[in-house]
Every structure is written in C-alpha cells, then in structure tokens.
C-alpha cells in the first residue's frame, strides 16, 4: 500500500512540476567533441545561429519520431510565425513513407535533406533517447552537406546523438514526458528570444 501511495503522490501536479523544474535546471550543453558549455551561453549562441540563418535566407529543418515529431511540428509554428524563420519538418506522411519504402526508414530523413538542404542551413534533431538511427543519420547528412545541427536529447548522458551537433542540448531524465516537454520548453524559449530581439 505504501509503494502505491508513494507512486500516486509522485504523480501529483506539484511533484511533477518540481521534477520538471529539476530537469530543466540540470540541462547540459556540449559541443561536437563532448566539451561542456555554459547552458545560458549556448542558448545565446543558438539564438545567434538562427538569427544569422534568418538574415541569410537559409532554411531550418526539424526532425523527430513519435512524440518528438509532435514537438518538431509545434516548434515550426513558433519558428515560422514568431521568429520569422523559413522552418519546416521533414515528416510529411506521403514523402516520409515514400523514402522509407524506397530506401529504408533509417535513411529517410537523410535522403530528404540530401535534396532540400544547402550549406549553411540548420537542422534541429530531436530524439528523447538519442538512439534513433534515422535522426542520427539526418544529423550526419546535414554535416556532410555543410549545414549546422542542434540536437535535443535525454535519457543516457552518453547517447550517440550528443556527438553529432555543434550544440547538443541534453535533459537529465529517462521519463519521455519530461524530456519531450523539456524539449518543447527549450525550443519555445529560443523562438521567444528571437522574437524579442535578444
């Protein structure tokens, strides 16, 4: 009975809110070599990267699977409407299923980027676990094309996605809900900073 009660109490909004605050406060940012950066400095640099992208007329691409695809879809609304970036996701059903059927799901996003992306464009690659091969392959393709990548992940501190971006934002949680909402929070914060001219 006590374990069940503890579980219920751990799911109260207050307890979950406190856990979310802990997860966001513990955000870690690393570069491609795994060197840690000051989180706030990295956020400022990411905002600068996207403002430069906007000035150059470049494109912002976002990829994710499942809940992370939902995060990406929501984020393009903010990046396009609020931050005035040329932003798009790559999971349009007909295109994604075509590429997956013809070339395999693991390379579907990479194949799409290979046709659409140009040097200087930016990819935001979102994966709660950082393990998804199709997301990692998209990040590798963007680098090959001369673009830049920002990754968002969670779960294991040493997940493979964290070595593929110039900026790698990691949330210290193994709870899908916390990681997905945390990623949405981070992306909202970036879009709002751009809107405010920060």
CATH of the domain at 174: 3.40.50.10490
Chain segment 145-189, per-residue pLDDT in tens:
999 999 999 999 999 999 999 999 999 999 999 999 999 999 999
Q: Is-contact 130 156, C-beta < 8 A?
A: yes
pLDDT of residue 116: 97
pLDDT of residue 129: 97
The total number of structural domains in the chain stands at: 1
Whether 18 is in a domain gets the answer no
Name the residue among 54, 130, 117 with its Cα closest to residue 90: 117
Whether 108 is in a domain gets the answer yes
Instruction: Quote the domain boundaries for residue 147.
Output: 27-195
pLDDT of residue 153: 98
pLDDT of residue 10: 74
Angle (nearest 5°) at CA 85 between 84 and 88: 125
pLDDT of residue 198: 73
Whether 3 is in a domain gets the answer no
Q: Is-contact 180 128, C-beta < 8 A?
A: yes
Whether 170 is in a domain gets the answer yes
pLDDT of residue 106: 98
Chain position carrying tokens 């001369």: 146
Mean pLDDT of 114-142: 98
Chain segment 36-77, per-residue pLDDT in tens:
999 999 999 999 999 999 999 999 999 999 999 999 999 999
Q: Is the pLDDT of residue 3 over 90?
A: no
pLDDT of residue 7: 61
Secondary structure of 171-193 in HEC code, one letter for each residue? CCCCCHHHHHHHHHHHHHHHHHH
Sign of the four-CA dihedral 133, 136, 142, 146: negative
pLDDT of residue 123: 98
DSSP label at 156?
Answer: S
The tokens for 9 are 């109490």
The whole model's pTM is what?
0.94
Whether 84 is in a domain gets the answer yes
Q: Is the pLDDT of residue 97 over 80?
A: yes
Q: Is the pLDDT of residue 1 over 60?
A: no
Judged by phi (left if over 0) then psi (alpha if -120 to 50, else beta), residue 132 lies in beta
Residues 6+ apart with CB under 8 A from 94: none
Whether 4 is in a domain gets the answer no
pLDDT of residue 96: 95
| Chain mean pLDDT for the chain | 95
pLDDT of residue 98: 97
pLDDT of residue 170: 98
């Amino acid at each position: 009975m006590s374990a069940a009660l503890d579980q219920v109490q751990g799911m109260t909004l207050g307890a979950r809110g406190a856990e979310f605050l802990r997860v966001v406060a513990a955000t870690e940012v690393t570069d491609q070599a795994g060197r840690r950066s000051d989180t706030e400095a990295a956020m400022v640099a990411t905002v600068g990267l996207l403002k430069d992208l906007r000035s150059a007329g470049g494109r912002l691409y976002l990829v994710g699977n499942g809940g992370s695809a939902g995060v990406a879809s929501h984020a393009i609304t903010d990046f396009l409407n609020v931050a005035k970036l040329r932003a798009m996701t790559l999971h349009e059903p007909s295109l994604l299923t075509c590429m997956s059927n013809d070339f395999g799901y693991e390379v579907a996003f990479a194949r799409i980027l290979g046709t659409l992306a140009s040097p200087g464009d930016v990819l935001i690659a979102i994966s709660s676990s950082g393990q998804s091969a199709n997301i990692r392959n998209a990040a590798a393709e963007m680098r090959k094309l001369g673009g830049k990548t920002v990754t968002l992940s969670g779960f294991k501190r040493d997940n493979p996605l964290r070595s593929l971006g110039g900026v790698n934002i990691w949330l210290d949680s193994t709870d899908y809900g916390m990681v997905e909402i945390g990623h949405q929070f981070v992306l909202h914060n970036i879009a709002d900073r751009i809107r405010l001219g920060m």
